[in-house]
Amino acid sequence: MGKIAQLPEDVAIKIAAGEVVERPASVVKELVENALDAAASQIDVTIKDGGKTLIEIKDNGSGMDRDDAVKAFLRHGTSKIHSVEDLAHVISLGFRGEALAAIGASADVELVTTETTAQEGTKVRVLFGRVEPAKPHAPLPGTTIKVQNLFEALPVRQKFLKSDATEWKATLDILIKQMLAHPEVGFTIHHNTRQVYTFSPNQDFADRVAALWQVDPKKLIPVQSEVPHLAIAGVVVKPEMAHEGKGRQFLAVNGHPVTDKMVQRSARDAYGTLLPPALLPSYALNLTIHPGMVDVNIHPRKDEVRFVNPQEIYRFVFQSVSQALSSVDLAFQEVPVALTSSPFVTQSPETRDTQPLNRPAPFRSPTVISPQRHATFDYAPSQTLAVSPLAEDTPVAPILTLDCCYLVTTHDNNLVIIDQHAAHERILYHQLWQIHEGKNRLTQPLLVPIAVTLSEPERALLEAHGDHFQALGFGITLSEDTIQLTEVPQVLHLKDPETFLTQVLSTLKDDQVMPSTQEWHHKIFATMACKAAIKAGDEVSEAEKQRLVRELLALPDRFTCPHGRPSHIVLGPNQMEKLFKRTGF
Ligand code: ADP
Ligand code: MG
């Protein structure tokens, strides 16, 4: 006799339930997805004891009639697909018709639902897989589903649940993703007696993100753009916030929270030198794409997608984020943390008196930042400046030097603190790009050619890529046993060209970057800028200081050095008021 028997449905459903419903977080995920699929604009979530005793999800979506309310609990009961062909274009979040059956098999479930125009509602109760007859109920908008005592009748599964706090944390992670992926939906979240979040539909997305990430909304930059078949909306962070190491990368594609390395790369690339190479910017982005151009079902948990045309997505995200970054002032304004977090939270009458001093205008540099950053370049600086903030004949305010490293001055009613090395690096880096683009190639011939001694790898590098050096204004003669330097680029003001050249070559020689790419140019220019720039500790003449400040503040990409460190910090009257405890309480 054969050994194979088909499992009875009630056994099969329990096994399937284990796959769909692992823990409270997975129940919450399925139920919120159902509410979203039912086009709810408001979802209220109540969780007790990490979801172990109660998960209640109330929505104002389409609801169900009595017949459907019962069928919803059948395995493979779904209104979302009817045939295999439908699979190709499902855009709803769930469609296997497993979730409610699985949840019904695992808990004490009560569903109250009213179809939009119906006079009467329905109540269905399912007790650990046993569906009780549906009953009439007073009509309430949408659907409310209560899941109590999850796994109570399934001790084996219950044993796998972690502490209430851990289950709550996992649930919260799911909810946060859903709240970010659906800015158009209002949410309230309660845990035990605590009201955790309240978000209204269509509130400012930056405010929602700021509340979820616990950051200042002013540090978030809105991203919004649209082309045929493709739209993006969300926020990215100011570079100064990325330095706090709060790496949060959120992406949703057509309402599905997903992770995507390419989008991550694209958003990172848009920052170019605004960030140190290893840092990822935080972002919360919602991408809407024609369903035919993406496959959301490649991953069983649906947390990865496959784009039909990844290049196009890369470019679109890159351009959208670049545009967002160039539309705002990115000057670092961080007030030292030790000074802002004060124990003096009460307001003295004196500070209250000075309230009228409240100045509305935060720092805005008069520089008009070119709205078009290079679309396909990762590192090239923007070039055109419509208005120079410091006209040639405008005197720069007096400049003080602190610790042989920081230049302190005022500009535009702001205190500006400049790191002389980082600033000079940024200026030189910019000038090298300019030469690369065919502008201002001025060379300085050396009175006597300098013989340069190089190691073999350095010499090999110079032989292979001497044209890059020559293009910048280096005159180099290579012969069998000597290397002679005959001229150098004027912008670099080199005092010791030999040391400079060896330092640059020795830094570059270990690089794995593909020659002649943008990244390669970035490396060369950043390395040269670093080696040629004034160092911390160097004496800087009055005239040089003036030029440094003037040139830096005129650059579109002035905010950081080419390695992503801040080049200057701006403290406006608003920050001053905070520092001196005049406002901000
Ligand atoms: P799926 O979502 O994969 O279709 P579920 O088991 O999650 O399967 O739900 C079964 C069906 O019940 C859905 O297809 C939908 O028609 C209905 N349904 C579930 N939840 C809701 C809800 N909150 N509002 C309206 N209809 C719902
Ligand atoms: Mg579902």
If you average pLDDT over every residue of the chain, what do you get? Answer: 85
Q: How far apart are the CA of 155 and the centre of ligand 1, in A?
A: 27
Residue nearest ligand 1's atom 19 by CA: 34
Residue nearest ligand 1's atom 2 by CA: 94
Q: What is the C-alpha separation between 535 and 522, in angstroms, rounded?
A: 20
In the three-class reduction of DSSP (H, G, I as helix; E, B as strand; rest coil), residue 136 is classed as: strand
Q: How far apart are the CA of 42 and the centre of ligand 2, in A?
A: 17
What pLDDT score was predicted for residue 338? 38
What pLDDT score was predicted for residue 108? 98
Task: Tell which atom from ligand 1 comes closest to the C-alpha of 59.
Answer: 23
What pLDDT score was predicted for residue 85? 66
- Specify the pTM: 0.80
Q: Quick one: which of 409, 354, 351, 376 has its CA closest to 542?
A: 409
The partner residues of 411 in beta bridges, in order of sequence, read 414
Q: How far apart are the CA of 91 and the centre of ligand 2, in A?
A: 12
Q: What is the C-alpha separation between 414 and 173, in angstroms, rounded?
A: 41
Q: How far apart are the CA of 72 and the centre of ligand 1, in A?
A: 6
Exposed (0-12), middle (13-18) or buried (19+): which is 385, by Cβ within 10 Å?
A: middle
| Ligand 1 site residues, Cβ closer than 6 angstroms | 30, 34-35, 38, 59, 61-64, 72, 77-80, 94-101, 143
In the three-class reduction of DSSP (H, G, I as helix; E, B as strand; rest coil), residue 479 is classed as: coil
What pLDDT score was predicted for residue 189? 98
Q: How far apart are the CA of 273 and the centre of ligand 2, in A?
A: 44
Q: Which two tokens stand for residue 51?
A: 């979801």
Exposed (0-12), middle (13-18) or buried (19+): which is 472, by Cβ within 10 Å?
A: buried
Q: Quick one: which of 426, 440, 420 has its CA closest to 382?
A: 426
User: How large is the angle between the packed helices 205-213 and 164-181, nearest 10 degrees?
Assistant: 160
Which of 13, 37, 65, 114 is the pocket-test mutation for ligand 1 (most atoms within 8 Å of CB)?
37
What pLDDT score was predicted for residue 98? 85
Residue nearest ligand 1's atom 14 by CA: 78
Q: Which two tokens stand for residue 207?
A: 């405010």
Which pLDDT tens digit goes with each residue over 195-204? 999 999 989 9
Q: What is the C-alpha separation between 352 and 151, in angstroms, rounded?
A: 57
Q: Do 554 and 388 form a contact (C-beta atoms < 8 A)?
A: yes
- Map tokens 């440094």 to a residue: 548
Q: Chunk the chain into consecutive blocks of 10 residues (it has 585) and report each block's average pLDDT, rounded to whole numbers.
A: 78 71 95 96 98 98 96 83 64 71 95 94 96 95 97 91 96 96 98 96 94 92 96 95 72 94 94 88 96 79 87 96 93 58 31 29 27 36 36 77 94 92 96 93 93 90 89 92 93 93 89 78 93 93 93 91 92 86 69
From start to end of 128-265, where are the E strands? 130-131, 135-137, 142-148, 186-191, 194-199, 220-227, 230-237, 249-253, 256-258
Tell me which ligand sits closest to the C-alpha of residue 80. Answer: 1
Task: Tell which atom from ligand 1 comes closest to the C-alpha of 77.
Answer: 10
* Count of residues making up the chain: 585
Which of 19, 27, 30, 34 is the pocket-test mutation for ligand 1 (most atoms within 8 Å of CB)?
34
Q: Which two tokens stand for residue 528?
A: 């040269």
Longest CA span, the chain: 101
Residue nearest ligand 1's atom 13 by CA: 78
Q: How far apart are the CA of 71 and the centre of ligand 1, in A?
A: 9
What element of type H or E holds 408? strand 406-411
Q: How far apart are the CA of 109 and the centre of ligand 1, in A?
A: 14
Q: How far apart are the CA of 284 and the centre of ligand 1, in A?
A: 28
For residue 127, give every residue at least 6 positions away whose Cβ sits within 8 Å of its Cβ, in sequence order, or none: 108, 109
What pLDDT score was predicted for residue 303? 83
Which pLDDT tens digit goes with each residue over 447-499? 999 999 998 889 988 998 888 899 999 999 988 888 999 999 999 999 999 99
For residue 80, give every residue at least 6 positions away whose Cβ sits within 8 Å of its Cβ, in sequence order, or none: 37, 86, 90, 92, 94, 95, 97
